[in-house]
Amino acid sequence: MKRSIFAFFIIFTVLIIIGCDNYGEEKYFNGTQLFYTSNVTEREADRLGQFLIDWGFADGEYKTVQLNKTGNTYEFRMVVKTGIENDPVFRDVFRLATIELSDGVFDGANVDIHLCNDRLKTLSVVPMMRF
């Protein structure tokens, strides 16, 4: 009996650990939850957070975003309502936002916007395109 309880406890613990998503370190900027991964610095996350406030994105309403970097490209990952990732008007707005983020936060570096579900899984990527 003790052995089966112990085995159950071990299996339960492993499932909890596996099931937990690690989105990175967490900060809040005027209602916006910002996670940032180990691929970016806290300073970069703070610059992004302040930019989101100044830009009016962080407006007191609850939102979730994540900052990551793959190679030389920053990834601004944001939770969106399902379906928005397929809307061409919103995609154009997000495409313009890549340039704003690049110039306003990341000193001209490449930025892609990842439109994500509520678990920060990518639904669609809006790549940066300079005009």
Domain boundaries, given as residue ranges, for the chain:
23-126
* Residue 37 near residue 67 (C-beta atoms within 8 A): yes
119, two tokens: 């678990």
C-alpha span between 127 and 94 (Å, rounded): 9
pLDDT of residue 129: 85
Stated as kind and residue range, the H or E segment containing 93 is helix 88-104
- Over residues 33-47, the pLDDT tens digits come to 999 999 999 999 999
Pick the CATH number of 23-126 from 3.30.70, 3.40.50, 3.30.300, 3.30.930: 3.30.300
Q: Which of 21, 93, 103 is closest to 64 using CA atoms?
A: 21
- Over residues 69-127, the pLDDT tens digits come to 999 999 999 999 989 999 999 999 999 999 999 999 999 999 999 999 999 999 999 99
Ranges assigned E (strand) in 16-61: 25-29, 32-36
pLDDT of residue 15: 35
* Residue 25 near residue 35 (C-beta atoms within 8 A): yes
Q: Which of 54, 59, 67 is closest to 31 using CA atoms?
A: 59
Residue 51 confidence class, pLDDT cut points 50, 70, 90: very high
Q: Which residues of 75-95 are buried (b: 16+ CB within 10 A; e: fewer)?
A: bbbbbbeeebbeeeebeeebe
Tokens 């596996």: give the residue: 18
